[in-house]
């Protein structure tokens, strides 16, 4: 007798779906199911993201949800699709790309897109296996939630599921799937794709969808597509100001990794600065230093020019397109001043305060001072009126003493209580340092996920003290500088 294999029943997690990106039509995506992940298990879960989606504790721990988010069982009402896009990678046109290992399950009625990353091959995999590994999935999960905890616009991560199924990268690793959540995963590259193909009807359809869904204030403008470009430019400027102020290196700012909503998107070879080195290159694959920390704002501006070129057939006026990009530099400069000023406790920093900020950064760069620890110690030293812990960070006392004298004089114009309150909620005690992530990944590879959970706990609230987890806020060990992260990370 022949055996009969039945398709798995759909799991109703209580999610209610609406037609989102899929309404654009079949030339925007390919509909296909995820590839099953053998014997999956939970690695990490975010209760706060589950709450966003309306998933209660029972649903979040349900074995059928584990199967569904590992690609083994459909979710009731979902419509898995992989989207097509193109883009520039390391400044070079790469042609068609697309969701090579990701599937968009759909959009909930509350406006959240849910995506599986690592769910198998798609038509856009470009000879890849379509899988993600445990290492990269944990990094993305933790950094998504870390950035949210820091108040930086970002995609979110609901969970990581793992499997002992082997996946080959530089070495043999194990498979994992990270479930990502965002209002939209649309990238600059989606627009570049249709523009490059001369498919201006689809380009217009996509732009109209984005405007009506995410930028409705552009609808009544004389030049709605130029208005869209300007809105995206402004959001991108604010995002980059956040990155530079907190010391975040993205590592691979290709146009296909740039969010149309100004979110931090795609966590691969990222890094939070340890020593303050403005020209730091975090991506081992970036041999030319294109995406060095201090080049990120100019790269974002270059990427916006690529988006402008893609939208030009709709704007139909090069001067209008360039005018839409013009505010970027001023918006970035003003936002960076506001963010760095806040780190000094200045609620309304003036342009004269730039000199004070620049002097501090020059001191940090000269000695390679730990970026996060400097700002956090400065916050406490102002609160306690005791500068010793900050002076201890510097070999040459003259420079920091002179700077502290000037800074104290500037603070005489401010309310002391408001200064210290602002500094302690602007300068985090905890960031996702590479060595912390690496240590958690090593434990996870042995089946121990406790460090991942601990890291999530502090990264969700990085400005709190967490005295029992003080060891996560210290200086990086010597071996941390030997960690190499690349585009496979």
Cα separation values, 312 from 253, 261, 316, 414, Å? 22, 19, 5, 47
Q: Is 248 helix (H, G, I), strand (E, B) or coil?
A: strand
Other C-beta atoms lying within 10 Å of the C-beta of residue 299: 19
Distance CA 21, CA 29 (A): 9
Is the separation of the CB atoms in 191 and 203 below 8 Å? yes
Catalytic annotation present for 256: yes
Half-sphere exposure of 32 (CA within 13 A, CB side): 18
Distance CA 124, CA 100 (A): 5
Distance CA 456, CA 325 (A): 37
In 326-433, where does DSSP find H-type helix?
327-343, 353-367, 371-384, 388-391, 397-411, 416-424
Query: Is residue 26 packed enough to be buried (19+ CB in 10 Å), middle (13-18) or exposed (0-12)?
Result: exposed
Residues paired with residue 103 on neighbouring β-strands, in sequence order: 116
Give the gyration radius of the chain's Cα atoms.
23
Nearest to residue 406, comparing CAs of 470, 353, 366, 337? 353
Residue 299 host element (H or E): helix 296-315
Is the separation of the CB atoms in 105 and 79 below 8 Å? yes
The one-character DSSP state at 348 is S
Catalytic residue among 256, 274, 286, 370: 256
Non-local (6+) Cβ contacts of 448 within 8 A are none
Is the separation of the CB atoms in 77 and 53 below 8 Å? no
Is the separation of the CB atoms in 10 and 75 below 8 Å? yes
Distance CA 92, CA 79 (A): 33
Residue with tokens 């790469």: 94
Helices 327-343 and 224-246: crossing angle, nearest 10°? Answer: 30
Two tokens, residue 243:
């990155």
Cα separation values, 137 from 122, 254, 354, 488, Å? 18, 20, 39, 11
Active site residues: 256
């Amino acid at each position: 007798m022949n055996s009969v294999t039945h398709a798995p029943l759909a799991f109703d997690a209580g999610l209610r779906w609406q037609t989102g990106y899929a309404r654009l039509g079949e030339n925007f995506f390919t509909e296909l199911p995820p590839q099953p992940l053998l014997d999956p298990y939970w690695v990490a879960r975010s209760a706060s993201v589950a709450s966003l989606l309306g998933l209660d504790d029972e649903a979040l721990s349900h074995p059928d949800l584990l199967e569904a988010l590992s690609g083994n069982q459909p979710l009731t009402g979902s419509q898995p699709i992989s989207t097509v896009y193109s883009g520039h990678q390391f400044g070079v046109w790469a042609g068609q790309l697309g969701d090579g290992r990701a599937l968009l399950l759909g959009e909930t009625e509350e406006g959240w897109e849910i995506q599986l990353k690592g769910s198998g091959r798609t038509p856009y995999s470009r000879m890849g296996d379509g899988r993600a590994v445990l290492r990269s999935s944990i990094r993305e999960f933790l950094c998504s939630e870390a950035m949210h905890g820091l108040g930086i616009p970002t995609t979110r991560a609901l969970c990581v599921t793992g499997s002992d199924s082997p996946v080959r990268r530089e070495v043999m690793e194990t498979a994992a799937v990270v479930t990502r959540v965002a209002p939209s995963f649309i990238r600059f590259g989606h627009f570049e794709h249709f523009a490059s193909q001369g498919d201006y009807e689809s380009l217009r359809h996509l732009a109209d969808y984005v405007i009506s869904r995410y930028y409705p204030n552009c609808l009544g403008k004389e030049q709605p597509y130029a208005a869209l470009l300007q809105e995206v430019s402004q959001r991108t400027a604010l995002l980059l100001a956040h990155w530079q102020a907190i010391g975040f290196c993205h590592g691979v700012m290709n146009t296909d990794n740039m969010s149309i909503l100004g979110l931090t998107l795609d966590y691969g070879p990222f890094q939070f600065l340890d020593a303050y080195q403005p020209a730091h290159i975090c991506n081992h694959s970036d041999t030319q230093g294109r995406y060095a920390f201090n080049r990120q704002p100019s790269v974002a501006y270059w990427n916006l020019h690529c988006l402008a070129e893609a939208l030009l057939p709709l704007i139909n006026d090069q001067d209008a397109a360039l005018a839409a990009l013009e505010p970027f530099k001023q918006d970035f400069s003003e936002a960076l001043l506001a963010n760095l000023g806040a780190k000094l406790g200045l609620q309304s920093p003036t342009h004269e305060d730039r000199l004070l900020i620049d002097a501090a950064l020059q001191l940090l760069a000269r000695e390679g001072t730990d970026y996060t620890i400097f700002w956090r110690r400065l916050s406490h030293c102002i609160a306690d009126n005791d500068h010793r812990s900050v002076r201890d960070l510097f070999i040459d006392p003259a420079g920091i003493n002179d700077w502290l004298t000037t800074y104290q004089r500037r603070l005489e114009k401010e309310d002391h209580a408001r200064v210290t309150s602002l500094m302690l909620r602007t300068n985090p005690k905890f960031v996702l340092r590479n060595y912390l992530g690496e240590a958690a990944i090593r434990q996870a590879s042995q089946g121990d996920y406790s460090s991942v959970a601990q890291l999530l706990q502090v990264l969700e609230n990085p400005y709190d003290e967490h005295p029992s987890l003080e060891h996560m806020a210290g200086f990086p060990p010597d071996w941390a500088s030997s960690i190499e992260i690349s585009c496979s990370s």
